[in-house]
Chains A and B, each alone.
Chain A
Amino acid sequence: MGERTKGGLLRPCCRTIRYSQISGALRKKFGVGDIHAAGYLVDGNGYNRTDYLIYSPRERVRGVSKVPLQVEFLTNVRGKVYALENDSAANFPDRFVVHMGAFISKGFGLCKLRKMAVVEAEPPAKGILRTRIPLDKLDTFNVRRVIKPVYGYLFEPTSPTTGTYVLSLFEGSEVVAPEFLISPVQRR
Chain B
Amino acid sequence: MKELVPELHDAIKLTILEHDVSEWNEQEVETFKEFLPIDTETWKGITQHHLGFTIYPAEPDTFCLCVADSLASTLTRIGEEGSLEYRLNKLWKGPEEGRDVRLRETDDVIRLFRFLQTDPGWEEFFREYEALLRDRPEDFHQGRNITSLYTHCRLTGQFYRILKNSSLFPVSASEIEGKTQDEVKALYRANYSQKWRLLVSRCRFCFLQKPYRVRDLNVFGALSDLMQEICTSYADNVLLQTSNELLLVLPDEGQLSDIVATAHERGFWVEVIKARGRLSELKPNPESMRVKKESENLYNLLSQIPPPICEICQSAKADKYWPEDYLLSRLGLCPSCQQLISQNPLAYVVDLLCEIDKAKMEEILKEPAREELCERCFALRAEGTRLHKLDTWGKEAQNKVTWVKIKLDFDRLQETLESLSGGEVSFSVVAEFQQDYYRFLEQFTGQIQRTFRHGNVESILNDFFCIRVDSFRQAFEVLQVYYELLRVFFPAFLGLQKSPLRISMVCAGAKFPFFEVWSILEDGPDDVFVSLQGPRTIRAPIGGLELLVRAAGLRYPKSALHKLTRIEETSETLAELTFQDRRDKDRATYSKLASGLRPSLGFSSIFTFARLMGD
Contacts and interface: CB of A to CB of B under 8 A. Distances in A.
A76 B164 CA distance: 64
A153 interface: yes
B213 A7 contact: yes
A155 B371 CA distance: 18
A163 B369 CA distance: 24
Interface in B200-250: 208, 212-213
Given A7-B369, A10-B512, A186-B525, A165 B535 contact: no
A6 interface: yes
Interface in B467-484: none
Given A10-B513, A11-B513, A186-B525, A165 B305 contact: yes
A167 B411 contact: no
B516 interface: yes
Contacts of B511: 8-10
Query: Chain B interface: which size bin?
Result: 20 to 34
B371 A164 contact: no
Nearest to B516: A12
Contacts of A101: none
A151 B299 CA distance: 8
Contacts of A186: 525
Given A152-B315, A153-B309, A164-B305, A7 B371 contact: yes
Nearest to B306: A164
A50 B271 CA distance: 31
A138 interface: no
A124 interface: no
B371 A6 contact: yes
A164 B411 contact: no
B303 A167 contact: yes
Interface in B300-316: 301-307, 309, 311, 314-315
A4 to B, nearest CB: 11
B213 A9 contact: yes
B280 to A, nearest CB: 27
Interface string A73-116: 00000000000000000000000000000000000000000000
Given A9-B213, A9-B513, A151-B301, A164 B314 contact: no
B295 interface: yes
B304 A9 contact: no
A128 B489 CA distance: 36
Contacts of B535: 49-50
Given A6-B369, A9-B212, A153-B309, A167 B301 contact: yes
A150 B206 CA distance: 11
Contacts of B451: none
A150 B411 CA distance: 21
Contacts of A151: 269, 297, 299, 301, 315
The dominant DSSP class at the A interface is strand
Nearest to B216: A9
The dominant DSSP class at the B interface is loop
A84 B376 CA distance: 38
Nearest to A167: B303
A125 interface: no
Contacts of A8: 367, 511
A167 B371 contact: no
A165 B304 contact: yes
A11 B304 CA distance: 24
Contacts of A165: 304-307, 309
Interface string A1-20: 00000111111100000000
A167 to B, nearest CB: 5
Contacts of B314: 152-153
Contacts of A121: none
Chain B CB count within 10 A is highest, among A151, A152, A155, A188, for A188
B602 interface: no
A147 interface: yes
B39 interface: no
B307 A163 contact: yes
A135 interface: yes
Given A152-B314, A165-B304, A167-B304, A147 B295 contact: yes
B212 A6 contact: yes
Contacts of A149: 297, 299
Contact of A153 (B295, B296, B315, B513): B315
Given A7-B371, A135-B303, A164-B304, A150 B516 contact: no
A7 B212 contact: yes
Contacts of A187: 411
A148 interface: yes
A119 interface: no
Nearest to B315: A153
A166 interface: yes
B409 interface: yes
A168 to B, nearest CB: 10
Contacts of A11: 212, 513
Contacts of B212: 6-7, 9, 11
B534 interface: yes
A92 to B, nearest CB: 30
B297 A150 contact: yes
A169 to B, nearest CB: 11
B303 A166 contact: yes
Contacts of B301: 151, 167
Given A6-B371, A8-B367, A165-B309, A188 B409 contact: yes
A7 B305 contact: no
A166 B304 contact: yes
Interface of A: 6-12, 49-50, 135, 147-153, 155, 163-167, 186-188
12 contacts: A6-B311, A9-B511, A10-B512, A50-B535, A152-B315, A153-B305, A153-B315, A165-B304, A167-B301, A167-B303, A186-B525, A187-B411
Q: Which 5 A-B pairs have the closest CB atoms?
A: A165-B305, A7-B367, A10-B513, A7-B369, A167-B303
Interface of B: 208, 212-213, 269, 271, 295-297, 299, 301-307, 309, 311, 314-315, 367, 369, 371, 409, 411, 511-513, 516, 525, 534-535
Given A11-B212, A167-B302, A188-B411, 13 more contacts: A6-B369, A7-B371, A10-B513, A50-B535, A147-B295, A148-B295, A148-B296, A149-B299, A150-B297, A153-B314, A165-B309, A187-B411, A188-B525
